[in-house]
A and B are shown apart, each in its own frame.
Chain A
Amino acid sequence: MKSAVIVFPGSNCDHDMLRALTLMGHRAEFVWHKTGNLSGYDLAALPGGFSYGDYLRAGAIARFSAIMKAVADFAAKGKPVLGVCNGFQVLTEAGLLPGALLRNQNLRFICRPVYLRAENLRTRFTQAIPPGTALKIPIAHGEGRFHIDPQGLKQLQDREQIVFRYANARGETDPGANPNGSLDHIAGIINREGNVLGMMPHPERAMEAILGSEDGRRIFESLVA
């Protein structure tokens, strides 16, 4: 699988993403937002970071980068797009995913491992996750509180587009396990077509047991060409 890690000015999880994909056997390459294109790639990954310094709103400026036109075309062809953290914020700003990510309810930047419950195991990003397991994956964000209007939420629920919810270690959602005040405990969603996934937690930081967890691998194992 040949994978593109898109790099914006201010991306800072691009190397982690490249390493994670490489560990999983991808031929992964950086693609600079200005000059790059996505022809010949099987996956586009938008990494975490602070593209354009989070000016105006997180992801608001990156969304107008030249590469985002290519990402939209890539997604329209049904090819997989994975946005993590700032990558998720960029995808919502670009309208490739619904909703928005607001300032965490406690106003703090939260950097710690959380547990996720995978809600839909039939997506191409989750099919290798064993049913009934809680994934331990770190978050690191200041703006991760997912928001959408009631109608949009109902659509996400009805179409099983909510892919990950914040949960406790037993995989149960409870208010104490929702780190940022996200609506309906939402940590990650997928588009209607099932090929664009955005998530606030960082699976690329949970690839090696020595670093605390390798549960992130389940997501990358799911992604097969």
Chain B
Amino acid sequence: MRVAVKVRLKRSILDPQGKTVQQALQHLGFEQIREVRIGKLIELEIEEGQNRAETLRMIEEASRKLLSNPVMEDFEIEYPGETP
């Protein structure tokens, strides 16, 4: 089973990379794109057949402990069947 963890800079934190990309898009004529923020998509391949709630807790723990840094980032887990 493949689970995706999206890691983003917190909204309150300036994302100079996103801002630079947004400016480049403006130059290319994509004037409607007002803001760009860049994050990370981390894909995890997880063994099937485990308790779902427990697996979700495990991924949350991994996301908190290593995949994201709570000082600067938020994360979101995309678990098959839970998100469209």
Which residues of A are interface residues toward B (Cβ below 8 A)? 56-57, 60, 64, 92-93, 98-100, 102-107, 147-149, 181
Residues of B within 8 A of A98 (CB): 71
Known: A103-B17, A105-B16, A147-B71. 18 other contacts (CB 8 A): A56-B66, A60-B66, A93-B69, A98-B71, A99-B71, A100-B69, A100-B72, A102-B9, A102-B13, A103-B16, A105-B14, A107-B16, A107-B20, A147-B13, A147-B72, A148-B71, A181-B14, A181-B16
Which residues of B are interface residues toward A (Cβ below 8 A)? 9, 13-14, 16-17, 20, 66-67, 69, 71-72
> Closest residue to A108 on the B side, CB-wise?
B16
Interface of A is mostly: loop
Residues of B within 8 A of A147 (CB): 13, 71-72
Residues of A within 8 A of B14 (CB): 105, 181
Partner of B69, one of A60, A104, A105: A60
A104 to B15, CA, bound (A): 10
Residues of B within 8 A of A107 (CB): 16-17, 20
A92 to B70, CA, bound (A): 11
Residues of A within 8 A of B17 (CB): 103, 107
How many pairs of A and B residues are in contact by the CB < 8 Å rule?
32
Residues of A within 8 A of B71 (CB): 92, 98-100, 147-149
Interface of B is mostly: mixed
A118 to B14, CA, bound (A): 27
A62 to B7, CA, bound (A): 20
A148 to B16, CA, bound (A): 17
Residues of B within 8 A of A92 (CB): 71
A28 to B26, CA, bound (A): 54
A5 to B21, CA, bound (A): 39
10 residue pairs from A and B, CB less than 8 Å apart: A56-B66, A60-B66, A60-B69, A102-B9, A103-B16, A103-B17, A106-B16, A107-B17, A107-B20, A181-B16
